Structure 1
């Protein structure tokens, strides 16, 4: 038996059902859908590729590219992606990241669009994409349905599609063939497009990076419902970014001051950053302890200036604050393409505002909303601001995006939401005196 056929036999025996399905999906640009649907064995798939001239003269290069794409290796190793369209590869990557619960949500929302027999418990996300293509509700220039679904299910998925549409992945060379264009690109062009080469970045190499202090007050007389946001901040975001987590719950005003003073007096010389997340009731310029006493926000931030905390001088000090800044409600202004999520189970959060940002260098203050306005929270999912912040940090930090770019994306997401019955809106507000790019590397 000739060597290429021996190799095909070995490869075929190693492929499981899910891997074969992935290869079939990625090759839809080259092999008709009806032909692929009838294929159940790897050897039949290889024969279909040979019939279409994709494995001529004993060359297995095309199959190797397909396997690398299916295993997610093509970009990791900076190899050329030429066996499938970038759009189809994007769909495949989305299918790999979608959880079981999210898949169930896709099936439920598509219940009126796709045949019920095609949405059974064994249906995979790749199957869903194929059925959407058959129905004409998914295509290279027809992503509106998919974007709407992602906006309802997981905003991070929507962000990835928007990045594709904005061509953030670098320059591409395209040749039209079939539903999607064939794309040839290198992954390095994506990382280069996300950085401003002329601007220096803060050092962020220490392990741990620093302390992430979480002040979480929710046990008031008029209680804020407990939400899973502190857990998200700890486990899904700053824990993965190599910060030491220090969470304190239900503190009085005096206890807040004592905790802040403890970390002000710590030696941070071996750390590169300090983060503080505040979730509490408040009003203009202050936050409340659970005893109803006030703590000025500026008192918290200025505790960590270079003068008051020498070991953090020249290092980024990051504060994220979730609460209202007043009683006023923001009204929406209709624009051509923007639309927001509507959620009837939404309430305003605590009153809270900062009169002025710290004048000292290297501070970043992320506020949930503008001065004098309320902020909102969903009883089901938590506050609009913190949930968006967690999602975008979790998604964008591994991709090398700087914090200001991430917070701009957070602004965009939160601004899309609406609170019934009067369609009130919310606009977060980051303020900063950073002198360099702030990037939180995962590795």
Structure 2
């Protein structure tokens, strides 16, 4: 009887996961299981239940060991379903090195698929039309990769066509493929691959840069795609309480002592103008645009009360700084993507100096919610404005600020609400130690120069919002911009001060704290010109 009860419980768990997985989740499961279940069997699979049964038949899944399903959920970021199997995100991460079954090759392909936009897939289908089923006019990224594998044009030891395609339609993804090959060559392909994944990555504690390569021509050379706009060693700064002088993003793993000495000497009056760190051009016909997506009302999630205060202050400060402010309230994930597409192709960028983009919403690790409660990876949002996809913004600074939780920690204090996506309670799968390695940091933002990403909090933790006075992070940012821009401070120095401000804040009991986390691939100092008008007062 006990055996029957445990069997029923086991299958009930699987059924519950199937009911919550959705079509996209099933397709992701099928793709990640291609090395575990025969292709012929997978072709006829229409539900997660069928996948589970195949895994049971292959002795890969049973009521005593459900880790493979937990791994699959973790890989596709359905961490909220882990609790149905009794797992947490941290628990899965700890066991992956010993119990993980999804190969590094399969993980790499899945990451590539996650970062291919619909336009990228269409371009790839056009390039590869002779190799794809003629009757199929549309495909998802996973279907495209699966078709190439079926044609023996893509395999663990045959990545040439994939690399060539990435080079032509989305060069930043080529770095991901090259990194996989390098790890494989030095015997690291069987190590936990997620620790360097840009689709799962938390945002790092370290200052991040990209090293210039002398050539980007041949897609079959290692690291053939690197930033073509010059060396990032022109400006390396420290972020206050965050670790400094961390590894650089590509190439050398440490900044040379000679370079550090040069930067230290930069404050000396005797240094010549030519030796001083370069600055981004901020004197064009138009300063730029500040775009604000402000999501407050959701289908089931808590209303983000107090966010209007942040929007009001952001509009006031960035208008004062000379930018035109556009506000988008309560956008679904689909509407957010349409906004990104609109601005990606906008011809206005030709005469503008910079882009500033704020997203105020609920969020989870590395992702933000639309009002329809669909998640969008932050890296995907930023990728719309790479030099290839938005050439009019090439070599111009692109600043992204994310005010959203990146996890769920402890219960909030009275009058404080956490910008998480969970209205029912605390989710253990969102908690982390808060430490992000330099290697993880290296894949947090696009593999291109001129980006800055300001996160309200480190991965896995709440960010806090006062229901009347707004969020700690946005209010501190606006305050420091007002104080330090007139003094000629650059944006990295200002963010250091923001970190200091927010780190000193706490709830009424002094128990809840928050630590922002910036990352960047800026090549030069970014200094907003001192405004010639007074800061407008609240209307």
TM-score by length of 1: 0.51
Counterparts of 1:208 and 1:399, CA distance in 2: 22
* Match 1:218 to one of 290, 296, 301: 296
Q: How does 1:34-433 map to 2 (within 5 A)?
A: 198-221=276-299, 222-226=302-306, 227-235=308-316, 237-267=317-347, 268-328=349-409, 344-351=414-421, 356-421=444-509, 423-433=511-521
Q: Using the TM superposition, give the Cα deviation of residue 343 of structure 1 relative to its aligned residue in structure 2, in angstroms.
A: 7.9
Give SS of 1:405's match: helix
- 8 Å CA contact 1:343, 1:418 repeated in 2: no
- 8 Å CA contact 1:366, 1:428 repeated in 2: yes
Counterparts of 2:304 and 2:312, CA distance in 1: 16
Give SS of 1:211's match: strand
Structure whose alpha-carbon radius of gyration is higher? 1
- 8 Å CA contact 1:217, 1:251 repeated in 2: yes
Cα deviation code 1:128-151 (max 9, x no counterpart)? xxxxxxxxxxxxxxxxxxxxxxxx
Counterparts of 1:251 and 1:350, CA distance in 2: 17
Cα deviation code 1:285-304 (max 9, x no counterpart)? 22111111122211110100
Is the strand fraction higher in 1 or 2? 1
TM-score by length of 2: 0.42
Give SS of 2:386's match: coil
Counterparts of 1:422 and 1:430, CA distance in 2: 24
Q: Using the TM superposition, give the Cα deviation of residue 256 of structure 1 relative to its aligned residue in structure 2, in angstroms.
A: 0.2
- 8 Å CA contact 2:363, 2:419 repeated in 1: no
Is the alpha carbon distance of 1:395 and 1:351 closer, same or farther for their aligned partners in structure 2, counting shifts above 3 Å? farther
Counterparts of 1:291 and 1:266, CA distance in 2: 26
- 8 Å CA contact 1:287, 1:294 repeated in 2: yes
Is the alpha carbon distance of 1:198 and 1:351 closer, same or farther for their aligned partners in structure 2, counting shifts above 3 Å? farther
Q: Using the TM superposition, give the Cα deviation of residue 380 of structure 1 relative to its aligned residue in structure 2, in angstroms.
A: 2.8
- 8 Å CA contact 2:503, 2:514 repeated in 1: yes
Unaligned runs of 5+ in 2: 1-266, 423-429, 431-440, 532-539
Cα deviation code 1:141-193 (max 9, x no counterpart)? xxxxxxxxxxxxxxxxxxxxxxxxxxxxxxxxxxxxxxxxxxxxxxxxx9x8x
Root mean square deviation, CA, Å: 2.9
Cα deviation code 1:48-69 (max 9, x no counterpart)? xxxxxxxxxxxxxxxxxxxxxx
Q: Using the TM superposition, give the Cα deviation of residue 442 of structure 1 relative to its aligned residue in structure 2, in angstroms.
A: 2.9
Counterparts of 1:318 and 1:351, CA distance in 2: 24
Higher relative contact order (CA 8 A, sep 6+): 2
Counterparts of 2:352 and 2:315, CA distance in 1: 18
Counterparts of 1:413 and 1:422, CA distance in 2: 15
Counterparts of 1:432 and 1:329, CA distance in 2: 29
Q: Using the TM superposition, give the Cα deviation of residue 351 of structure 1 relative to its aligned residue in structure 2, in angstroms.
A: 4.8
Give SS of 2:286's match: coil
Is the helix fraction higher in 1 or 2? 2
